[in-house]
């Protein structure tokens, strides 16, 4: 991680933390990342992870991972496992074991009883619809519930019976008694507990009442001794409520909340609900589909953890918001892969080339560097009479400026000889199915005397290359603001129908036969690719395109 002084962008929270340490307000900072396990983490969460774990790392503090699991109906162990794996993949480790808000259910319940005893909470029998009506609006104050002035004894009795399972879901709720006329809607007697006869992934069937998120979040932070409770701006209006709880309960510490702007990325959806819809309706192959904005999707796509951390560093942290260009994320991964990915050749649309003057049965092992700048050693590429080039590298009627192979023309095979196209063999439909070429023996590693050969194309030997599948991924949405759709439409209408093009029968150079899941390469002239984590097998390799070599969306974003 970069240090404060050379960070690419500002981060106002870093200054706050630094000041709190310098003034002695805190001797050690404690942050937390608090996901609800109701979906996979996405690129927006990465911003929060890098911020919370990053601050702790930078200032010698600690960061907890806490699952805010108050809504059992939408949560699942699969999400817990995926979230832990993604945070670890990004390169962060949480302090001690992961924590769960549900670990505090007993304590929260005891505190709820305490509020009832203090006359600061009551059991309300209004139905959810009635409660909404009594709540008022932004411009009109709410009205007191007719059940607001129940006695402490009656409230204790009803709350105990709620807990004992005597009432059906929604029949009653426990609410804080604050102020139904408050201009801040969050203070209009917010719900503390709801009845929900639901099995919980952590607590099983122990509870049929569950605390609200608002009643849980701040007190969980207090119980964990969080010094800086960092959250996104939509919780700014909840802060007075969290502080009311901290002031009215015997909490061990009083965390201070700070808000920052969430990450919005163009061409990208970062709503868990919509991501889930993409999965459930099978618009993608799963949460880890390489086109998803989830961390597991980026991982399968070939993004490195460090590229995502660099990106989060580049965008900085502020309260202003705005939309970040996805080009920045693509820039971060391209830079990383340019510097670190081994080079290789893979022919996506093979066209057979027979080099008629190269002796049959002869083979020559050429050595090519794995990387132009880094010392990664060499790879061996056998040159032989039959090779493959890409079908798009030969044109009978070339467009202006075409520098590749044309009838009678010459081109250099990368790391090898200059060849000349002598004859194109066609099938009955006139499609070129093979080229017959001749090579110039004197051109290995140097240009022929007096002739300038401009074009260089990639190739692989026919017999020794490995057949593989290549998946060309592109942005999942074709519109910069995928949330916005024509009237009556949905974000699904903005799906890019060409976001996945699968090519089979591609031919990779022999050194790739040993490639392992998640190995990353620059396929020369084609882009950056990685070995698919899920579907690739030795002998049946699958490569995913991570990103193109250059921004192919020029001007559009
Ligand atoms: P939900 O609607 O399910 O609550 P959420 O996006 O808030 O969705 P959480 O699991 O509650 O998801 O988020 C965990 C943490 O990640 C929160 O602290 C939240 O503020 C932060 N976070 C979520 N989305 C973004 C985003 N786009 N940019 C920055 N931080 C985010
Ligand atoms: Mg949330």
Expressed as residue numbers, the domain containing 189 is 8-260
Residue 351 in tokens: 């066209």
Residues in the chain: 557
CA of 154 to the centre of ligand 2 (A): 34
Same domain, 256 and 361: no
pLDDT tier at 83, thresholds 50, 70, 90: very high
In this prediction, residue 417 carries a pLDDT of 96
CA of 498 to the centre of ligand 2 (A): 32
Domain endpoint, select from 260, 290, 317: 260
Domain endpoint, select from 463, 498, 517: 463
Report if residue 494 sits inside a domain: no
Report if residue 551 sits inside a domain: no
Of residues 120, 254, 262, 352, which has the active-site annotation?
Answer: 262
pLDDT, tens digit, for every residue of 179-202?
A: 999 999 999 999 999 999 999 999
In this prediction, residue 7 carries a pLDDT of 53
Same domain, 234 and 382: no
In this prediction, residue 5 carries a pLDDT of 43
Q: What percent of the chain has pLDDT over 70?
A: 97
Sign of CA dihedral 52, 328, 499, 532: negative
Residue 531's Cβ-side half-sphere holds a number of Cα atoms within 13 Å equal to: 19
Token pair 């920052």: residue? 260
> What mean pLDDT is predicted for residues 517-528?
97
From the CB of 47, is ligand 1 less than 6 Å away?
A: yes
Same domain, 253 and 353: no
Any idea what the CATH number is for the domain that residue 404 is in?
Answer: 2.40.240.10
Same domain, 358 and 214: no
pLDDT tier at 73, thresholds 50, 70, 90: very high
Residue 178 is classified by DSSP as S
In this prediction, residue 1 carries a pLDDT of 37
Q: How far apart are CA 456 and CA 472, in angstroms?
A: 23
pLDDT, tens digit, for every residue of 544-557?
A: 999 999 876 544 33
478 is catalytic: no
- Residue 297 burial (CB < 10 Å; 0-12/13-18/19+)? buried
pTM more than 0.85: yes
Report if residue 296 sits inside a domain: no
What is the average pLDDT value for the chain, to the nearest integer?
95
Give the residue, by CA position, lying nearest to ligand 1 atom 22. Answer: 45
Residue 42 is classified by DSSP as B
Same domain, 253 and 388: no
pLDDT, tens digit, for every residue of 117-171?
A: 999 999 999 999 999 999 999 999 999 999 999 999 999 999 999 999 999 999 9
From the CB of 99, is ligand 1 less than 6 Å away?
A: no
How far are the Cα atoms of 116, 174, 399 from residue 437, in angstroms, in the given order?
Answer: 90, 83, 21
Report if residue 314 sits inside a domain: no
Please tell me the least confidently modeled range out of 103-107, 381-385, 480-484: 480-484
- Give 361's contacts (C-beta < 8 A, 6+ positions apart): 385
Residue 49 in tokens: 């992870």
In this prediction, residue 397 carries a pLDDT of 94
Any idea what the CATH number is for the domain that residue 46 is in?
Answer: 3.40.50.620
Please tell me the least confidently modeled range out of 18-22, 287-291, 365-369, 482-486: 482-486
Residue 359 is classified by DSSP as P
Q: For ligand 1, pick from 11, 31, 35, 83 the residue to mutate: most ligand atoms within 8 Å of CB.
A: 35
Report if residue 331 sits inside a domain: no
Give the residue, by CA position, lying nearest to ligand 1 atom 4. Answer: 36
272 is catalytic: yes
Task: Give the chain's domain count.
Answer: 2
Report if residue 209 sits inside a domain: yes
Does residue 2 carry a pLDDT above 70? no
In this prediction, residue 552 carries a pLDDT of 64
CA of 62 to the centre of ligand 1 (A): 20
Residue 21 in tokens: 């340490």
Ligand nearest to the CA of 34: 1
pLDDT, tens digit, for every residue of 31-60?
A: 999 999 999 999 999 999 999 999 999 999
Angle 122-126-127 (CA atoms, 0-180°, nearest 5)? 135
> What mean pLDDT is predicted for residues 233-237?
97
Q: What are the residues facing 438 on neighbouring strands?
A: 420
Report if residue 488 sits inside a domain: no
Same domain, 52 and 201: yes
Same domain, 96 and 225: yes
> What mean pLDDT is predicted for residues 77-104?
98
Report if residue 129 sits inside a domain: yes
- Give 488's contacts (C-beta < 8 A, 6+ positions apart): none
Same domain, 362 and 251: no
pLDDT, tens digit, for every residue of 310-339?
A: 999 999 999 998 899 999 999 999 999 999
CA of 408 to the centre of ligand 1 (A): 61
> What mean pLDDT is predicted for residues 472-499?
93
Domain endpoint, select from 463, 485, 507: 463
Same domain, 247 and 394: no
Q: How far apart are CA 479 and CA 256, in angstroms?
A: 39
Q: For ligand 1, pick from 36, 79, 218 the residue to mutate: most ligand atoms within 8 Å of CB.
A: 36
Q: How far apart are the first and last CA of the chain?
A: 28
From the CB of 51, is ligand 1 less than 6 Å away?
A: no
Residue 141 burial (CB count, 10 A)? 13
Is residue 462 within 8 A of residue 388, CB to CB? The reply is yes
In this prediction, residue 486 carries a pLDDT of 81
Separate counts of helices (H) and strands (E) for the chain: 12, 25
Residue 375 is classified by DSSP as -
In this prediction, residue 8 carries a pLDDT of 54
Residue 195 in tokens: 């009845």
Is residue 121 within 8 A of residue 175, CB to CB? The reply is yes
């Amino acid at each position: 991680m970069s240090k404060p002084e050379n960070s690419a962008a500002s981060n106002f929270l870093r200054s706050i933390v630094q000041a709190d340490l310098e003034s002695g307000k805190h001797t050690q900072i404690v942050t937390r990342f608090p996901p609800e396990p109701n979906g996979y983490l996405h690129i927006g969460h990465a911003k929060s992870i890098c911020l919370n774990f990053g601050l702790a790392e930078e200032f010698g503090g600690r960061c907890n991972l806490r699952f805010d699991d108050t809504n059992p109906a939408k949560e699942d162990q699969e999400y817990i496992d995926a979230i832990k794996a993604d945070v670890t993949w990004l390169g962060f480790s949480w302090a001690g074991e992961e924590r769960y808000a549900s670990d505090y259910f007993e304590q929260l319940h005891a505190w709820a009883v305490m509020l009832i005893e203090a006359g600061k909470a009551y059991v309300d029998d209004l139905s959810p619809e009635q409660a909404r009506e009594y709540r008022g609006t932004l411009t009109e104050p709410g009205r007191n519930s007719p059940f607001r002035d129940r006695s402490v004894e009656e409230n204790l009795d009803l709350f105990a019976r709620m807990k004992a399972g005597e009432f059906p879901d929604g029949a009653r709720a426990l609410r804080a008694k604050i102020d139904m006329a408050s201009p801040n809607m969050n203070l209009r007697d917010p719900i503390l507990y709801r009845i929900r006869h639901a099995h919980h992934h952590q607590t099983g069937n122990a509870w049929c009442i569950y605390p609200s998120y608002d009643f849980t979040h701040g007190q969980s932070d207090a119980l964990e001794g969080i010094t800086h409770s960092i959250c996104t701006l939509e919780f700014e209006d909840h802060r007075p409520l969290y502080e009311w709880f901290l002031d009215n309960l015997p909490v061990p510490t009083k965390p201070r909340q700070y808000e920052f702007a969430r990450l919005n990325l163009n061409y990208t959806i970062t709503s868990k609900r919509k991501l889930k819809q993409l999965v459930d309706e099978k618009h993608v192959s799963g949460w880890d589909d390489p086109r998803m904005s989830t961390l597991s999707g980026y991982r399968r796509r070939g993004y490195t953890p460090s590229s995502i951390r660099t990106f989060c560093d580049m965008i900085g942290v502020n309260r202003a918001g705005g939309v970040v260009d996805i080009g920045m994320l693509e820039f971060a991964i391209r830079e990383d892969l340019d510097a670190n990915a081994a080079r290789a050749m893979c022919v996506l649309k093979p066209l057979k080339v027979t080099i008629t003057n190269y002796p049959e049965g002869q083979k020559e092992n050429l050595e090519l560097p794995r990387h132009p700048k880094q010392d990664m050693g060499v790879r061996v590429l056998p040159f032989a009479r039959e090779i493959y080039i890409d079908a798009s590298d030969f044109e009978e009627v070339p467009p202006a400026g075409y520098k590749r192979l044309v009838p009678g023309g010459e081109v250099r095979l990368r790391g090898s000889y200059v060849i000349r196209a002598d004859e194109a063999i066609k099938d009955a439909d006139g499609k070129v199915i093979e080229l017959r070429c001749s090579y110039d023996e004197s051109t290995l590693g140097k240009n022929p005397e007096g002739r300038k050969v401009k074009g260089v194309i990639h190739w692989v030997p026919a017999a020794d290359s490995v057949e593989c599948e290549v998946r060309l991924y592109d942005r999942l949405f074709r519109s910069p603001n995928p949330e916005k759709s024509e009237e009556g439409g949905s974000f699904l209408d903005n799906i890019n129908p060409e976001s996945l093009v699968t090519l089979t029968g591609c031919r990779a150079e022999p050194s790739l036969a040993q490639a392992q899941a998640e190995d990353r390469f620059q396929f020369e002239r084609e882009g950056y690719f990685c070995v698919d984590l899920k579907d690739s097998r030795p002998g049946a390799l699958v490569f995913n395109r991570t990103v193109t070599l250059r921004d192919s969306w020029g001007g559009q974003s």
